[in-house]
């Protein structure tokens, strides 16, 4: 019996993932607010009623996509920020570059829906970013430079870093979408690496003099 239940659960998870993958592909050309349930079920090859065994609505599916896009990043972000010292910023930039290269559709979805028309999805993105900021704040508080900083200022600083990481992700995404040659694209990617590194260092420099 348990074997049968295991097979059913695996099949259910496989179908759920198929919905997520199909929706993500369809969202390359449109926003979530315009995505139709029948579009998704047609892409998966199932009846529309099957959708409701996995999601309550397309908004619910969108929230699941937010979790898929951002949820797995928390351990990596914590580890990167915990690095400290001179390696923190280069590692953060490389983390962003690698994630964008591996998951461009997820990054594009977050960039579009962060201020999109589906409220539960906007709120889910906001909650994930707030969680990132809290995690970054926790690691920043361990730095010697954090002495005498209060929680509000540390959280403000953490949000600055998170916002800049989102901007950097968008810049890397643009390099992937450029019609230029591979050589030109790599040159543009390196330009973004240098720019992102300098921008993050500028935030760090401001941190050093915040209490002056």
Instruction: Give residue 2's pLDDT band: very low, low, confident or very high (50, 70, 90).
Output: low
pTM of the predicted model as reported, rounded to 2 decimal places:
0.90
CB 24 within 8 A of CB 105: yes
The region that residue 150 occupies, defined by phi over 0 for left and psi between -120 and 50 for alpha, beta otherwise, is beta
Rounded distance between C-alpha atoms, residue 169 and residue 151, angstroms: 27
Is the pLDDT at 1 greater than 60? The verdict is no
Q: Report the candidate in 95, 117, 94, 114 with the shortest Cα–Cα distance to residue 106.
A: 114
* Beta carbons within 10 angstroms of residue 15's beta carbon: 15
Side-chain-side CA neighbours of 122 within 13 Å: the count stands at 7
Per-residue model confidence (pLDDT) at position 11: 87
DSSP string computed for 147-176: TT--HHHHHHHHHHHHHHHHHHHHHHHHHH
Distance CA 98, CA 39 (A): 31
CB 15 within 8 A of CB 44: yes
Which pLDDT value is given to residue 3? Answer: 59
Instruction: List, for residues 133-161, the tens digit of each pLDDT value.
Output: 999 999 999 998 898 999 999 999 999 99
CA dihedral 101, 107, 109, 110 (to 10 degrees): 180
Give 50-94 pLDDT, tens digit per residue: 999 999 999 999 999 999 999 989 988 888 898 878 899 999 999
Mean pLDDT (whole number) for 155-168: 95
pLDDT at 9: 83
């Amino acid at each position: 019996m348990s074997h049968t239940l295991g097979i059913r659960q695996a099949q259910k998870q496989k179908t759920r993932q198929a919905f997520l993958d199909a929706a993500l592909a369809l969202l390359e050309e449109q926003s979530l607010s315009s995505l139709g349930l029948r579009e998704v079920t047609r892409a998966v090859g199932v009846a529309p009623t099957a959708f409701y065994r996995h999601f309550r609505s397309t908004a619910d599916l969108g929230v699941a996509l937010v979790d898929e896009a951002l949820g797995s990043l928390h351990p990596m972000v914590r580890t990167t920020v915990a690095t400290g010292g001179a390696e923190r910023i280069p590692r953060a930039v490389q983390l962003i570059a690698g994630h964008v290269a591996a998951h461009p559709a997820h990054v594009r979805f977050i960039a579009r829906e962060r201020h999109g028309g589906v409220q539960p999805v906007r709120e889910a993105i906001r909650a994930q970013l707030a969680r990132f900021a809290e995690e970054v704040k926790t690691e920043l508080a361990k730095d010697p430079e954090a002495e005498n900083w209060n929680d509000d200022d540390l959280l403000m600083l953490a949000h600055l870093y998170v916002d800049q990481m989102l901007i950097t992700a968008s810049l890397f995404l643009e390099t992937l979408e450029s019609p230029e040659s591979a050589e030109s694209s790599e040159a543009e990617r390196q330009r973004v690496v240098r720019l992102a590194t300098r921008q993050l260092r500028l935030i760090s420099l401001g941190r050093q003099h915040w209490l002056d």
